[in-house]
A and B are shown apart, each in its own frame.
Chain A
Amino acid sequence: MFGAGGGTSSYREIEETDLVVLWGSNAREAHPIFFHHLLKGLRRGARLFAVDPRRSPSAQWADAWLGIDVGSDIALANAVGNEIIRSGLVNTEFIRRATTGFEEYAAAIAPCTLEEGERLTGVPAALIAELAHEYARAPRAQLCWTLGITEHHTATDNVLALCNLALLTGHVGRYGSGLVPLRGQNNVQGGGDMGALPNKFPGFQDVEDDAVRARFDARWGVRVPPRRGWHLSQMFEAMEKGELRALYVLGENPAQSEADTKRAVRLLEGLEHLVVQDIFLTRTAQLADVVLPAAVAAFETEGTVTSSERRVQRLRPALPPPGEARDDLSILADLSEKLGARWDRPSAEEVWDECRALSPMHAGMRYDRLEALGGIQWPCPSEDHPGTVFLHGRLWDEDPERRGSPAPFSPVEYEPPLDGLSEEFPVRLTTGRRLDSFNTGVQTGSYASPLRRPETIDLCPEDLERLGVGEGELVRVSSRRGAITVPVRLDRSLRPGLAFMTMHFPDQADTNVLTLDSWDPKSGTAEFKATAIRIDPLPAAGDSLLAGTLERAG
């Protein structure tokens, strides 16, 4: 944010803060060890607000739970912002010195009264006001979010709406005050850091910046194309148009993880050439022309990953890869040779040192320093730099020159989820994770978790009664794209009209047959969190719980 693609704070700051807002994050189950740090903060007296459609296991620790309607986050954030302004609780000095665009922002959100907020979000006006006042008055506050904010068609705007609140109150750039996006996978942050984005080089340097590109051209001895590439959602659109005909997939299972999987599989099948590099013969790999068996990154390879607090840490091989499987780096090196390049089989450390030479924010992170310091948080511009605990401290500098360019407010407008509720599809389905499982279950399906239970559609007691079905009975769940059959489970953390499923068991119930693949034009993230569905009881199907729970619509 504000120019750097990473969370501003360290985990230890949440232990010493005064107020925590968990917004669209069930960290208790999705980021359990981060939640340990949060609990230490609560034990020291911090207050916790949870904004979540579900009264999730995280929300159950909160002083106040804001049970928001799915996808109305911007409406809530704008109402909070407006209440902070209206109550005279803004940090005037910080806004004047360190931000731009306050007037436009204030004018844009002026119509977002508490009453309007309540109407759009379902959160009582008094609770919105409480969050606004407590967040603004807290000496230090941490605002944390996860996929509940980003798996929407308005993902980027959702994040901007939260950043605006931090700028209003000065809750950024100080120890204990910050913005904390919790990454869902062990190297989502590192992928971004390393330039696995269509428009970035390592270190978030812009591909379309001639001066930056010249440095990479010189180092690599090639001309890097001067245009940005496609992100995942654009790639699928390009497949649709026939502009993308060959695909090389490394360690991803889009045939099951993409929203609207029926479309994803159709497009993958339509490719002229598909190469999949993975540790398993995933559903996607089964569609491939060539499968390259890979080593397990965390246990069988050398390299680095970056965590949600910008900490770069080393991976080390504990085991040799099985059979013909090889680590990604050596596969890529071989491939490069076949394509006519000469990489001379670099070691992971040599690749890393090249990255350090080209990415200023990683420059000081020698392997032996990463080892000695237990990882280093970027930016780390030199080999005597200890790494950075929190970002944007410059915004508080007295000296305008060191303070640098101000952080802009970004007025954003609420737009409801694209998959609207209707008489035909009256129930809102949202998705998420369970504690013991991960994504499509490729990694977690094989350990003997005592917590594991089959996929269900979770509903509140009122909805079970309305449908006239009991727990464990099968229902047919339909969206505008497809239908599946799945057993019902009672979940008191849900509210009437809100259903919950995971994506952990696609072979039992392919949740992503239901979801919509419309995506945020700014970030390319699909709207997994908001699907309109209908639920129909199946006649006399209650006894076939374990038999074929998957049924695709034609």
Chain B
Amino acid sequence: MTTIAPVAFRRTVELTIDGRAVTAREGATVLEACRAAGVEIPTLCYLETLTPVNVCRVCVVEVEGGRALVPACSRPVAAGMVVRTDSDRVRTSRRMVLELLASSVDLSTAAGDVHRWIGEYGARPERHGPSAPAAPTRPHAGHHAEPEVGSAATVVQPVKRDNNLYVRDYAKCILCYKCVEACGEDAQNTFAIAVAGRGFDAHISTELDVALPESACVYCGNCIGVCPTGALMFVTEHDLRATGDWDEDRQAVTRTVCPYCGVGCNLEVHVQDDRIVKVTSPLDHDVTSGNLCVKGRFGFAYVEASG
């Protein structure tokens, strides 16, 4: 018996990207059209599996006839659209976003692309002056005294380590909202975290800012899976980094299937020196879309206990 799921046939539209004629699927975003055409658009808050929230503004492009720059991640293509991804206006805007983030946030564990973009767009975070000194008593991002003239305000704060599975280092948080989306409607629907505060005081918080074990968190770690800067990290990775032993060149990633229930979630097992240091799930596998539960993501200690 051959049974095939219904396939949705879609129409296409013609548009111009950086002077090139391009065909895109109707309903696709400008970002998707650019990627299909081999044009790189930097993104921070965007992920294929999440609803675009348009907060980071680093993916902006210029659309002819438009007043403001538009976020490529959520603007749908339209017939006859003329898009410029590398105009001065676009480059200036991206440089400003990257520069402000890099001056206020610790990007030391952010994805390599972020550092490449900082270089490519000529962002110079250092011109805002040295980072204002840390104030360890600040409970969360934004509880900052006005920095002295000539120094850069930062979101620096102590690492939150309130459970044995993962740490939250919000000094590295760029407020991309991905963790909030993954904890909420886009995947887990637990709603343990949200953005609290406004402006520079905005920060990721549990309800009433309680510690994770007192919150609604169920430790699925789907927030870690989407975090682009390493603000959310396995305890294993955090501790190996702290001692200088984290070494991705010595790591192998193997894809297998979760040992627990019968859903068949794919695991990517990250192993360094015969030890499991992290578990992720492939974004492009439609069983998990990158998500796991607490057992699948963290329940691997028994493998070592058996040794």
User: What is A's interface to B at a CB cutoff of 8 Å?
Assistant: 10-12, 30-34, 36, 39, 43, 175, 182-189, 279-280, 296-300, 305-309, 311, 313-320, 322-323, 325, 374-375, 379, 385-386, 388-391, 393-394, 435-438, 442-451
Cβ of B48 < 8 Å from any Cβ of A? no
Q: Is the CB of B276 within 8 A of A318?
A: yes
Point out the residues of chain B lying under 8 angstroms from A306, CB to CB.
264
Q: Which B residue's beta carbon lies closest to that of A323? A: B307
CB distance from A304 to the nearest CB of B (A): 9
Cα distance A445–B303 in the bound complex, in angstroms: 12
CA distance A175 to B265 in the complex (A): 22
Q: How far is the CA of A320 from the CA of B274 in the complex (A)?
A: 7
Cβ-defined contact, A451 with B258, below 8 A: no
Q: Is the interface of B mostly helix, strand, loop or mixed?
A: loop
16 more CB-based (< 8 A) A-B contacts, given A36-B289, A447-B298: A11-B263, A31-B261, A33-B288, A34-B263, A36-B291, A182-B263, A185-B261, A296-B259, A309-B264, A309-B287, A322-B306, A394-B1, A436-B299, A444-B295, A445-B302, A449-B165
Compute the total of residue contacts between A and B using a CB distance below 8 Å: 190
Rounded to whole Å, the gap between the CB of A276 and the closest CB of chain B is: 14
Q: Are A316 and B256 neighbours in the complex by a CB distance under 8 Å? A: yes
Q: List 8 A-B contacts (CB under 8 A).
A: A33-B263, A33-B292, A175-B5, A183-B262, A185-B262, A279-B302, A322-B306, A390-B5
Interchain CB contact under 8 A, A188 and B218: no
Contact B263 A31 (CB under 8 A): yes
In the bound assembly, the distance between CA atoms of A323 and B300 in angstroms comes to 18
Query: Known: A309-B264, A448-B165. Contact between A33 and B293, CB under 8 A?
Result: yes
Closest 4 CB pairs of A and B: A307-B264, A183-B262, A322-B307, A448-B164
Q: Are A374 and B305 in contact (CB under 8 A)?
A: no
A444 to B257 CA separation, bound complex (whole angstroms): 16
Q: Which residue of B lies closest to A371 (CB)?
A: B255
Contact B256–A298 (Cβ < 8 Å): yes
Q: Are B305 and A189 touching (Cβ within 8 A)? A: no
Closest CB of chain A to B257's CB: distance in Å? 5
Q: Point out the residues of chain B lying under 8 angstroms from A449, CB to CB.
A: 165, 219, 294, 298-299
Cα of A446 to Cα of B301 in the assembled complex, Å = 6
Would you call B259 and A443 a contact (CB within 8 A)? yes
Chain A residues, Cβ within 8 Å of B196: none
* B305 to A, closest residue via Cβ: A446
Residue of B nearest to A304 (CB): B257
Residue from the list B5, B252, B256, B261 in contact with A184, Cβ < 8 A: B261
Q: Is the CB of A43 within 8 A of B185?
A: yes
Nearest CB of chain B from residue A63's CB, rounded to whole Å: 16
Q: Which residue of B lies closest to A281 (CB)?
A: B306
Q: Which of B2, B269, B288, B299 contacts A447, CB < 8 Å? A: B299
Tell me how far the C-beta of B68 lies from the nearest C-beta in chain A, rounded to whole angstroms: 30
Query: Contact partner of B259 among A36, A280, A299, CB < 8 A?
Result: A299
Residues of B within 8 A of A10 (CB): 5
Query: B75 to nearest A CB, angstroms?
Result: 23
Q: What 1/0 flags go to B138-178 for Cβ under 8 Å of A?
A: 00000000000000000000000001110000000000000
User: Cβ of B256 and Cβ of A318 under 8 Å apart?
Assistant: yes
In whole angstroms, what is the CA distance A438 to B259 when docked? 10
- Minimum Cβ distance to chain A for residue B111 (Å): 23
Known A-B contacts A322-B306, A446-B302; A374 and B165 likewise in contact (beta carbons under 8 Å): no
Residues of B within 8 A of A32 (CB): 220, 263, 293
B96 at the interface (CB under 8 A from A): no
Least distance between A247 CB and chain B CB atoms (Å): 22
B291 to chain A, nearest CB (A): 6
Residue from A279, A296, A450 having most chain B Cβ neighbours under 10 A: A450
Contact of A11 among B1, B287, B301, B302 (CB under 8 A): B287
A190 shortest CB reach to chain B, Å: 9
A271 CB, min distance to chain B CBs, angstroms: 25
Chain B, Cβ-Cβ closest to A444: B299
| A contact residues around B164 at 8 Å (CB) | 448, 450
Complex interface: chain B residues within 8 A of A325 (CB) = 306-307
**Most chain A Cβ neighbours within 10 Å, of B5, B213, B298:** B5
A450 and B212 within 8 A (CB) = yes
**A279 near B298: Cβ-Cβ < 8 Å:** no
Is the CB–CB distance between A280 and B262 below 8 Å? no
In the bound complex, what is the Cα–Cα distance between A436 and B295 (angstroms)? 6
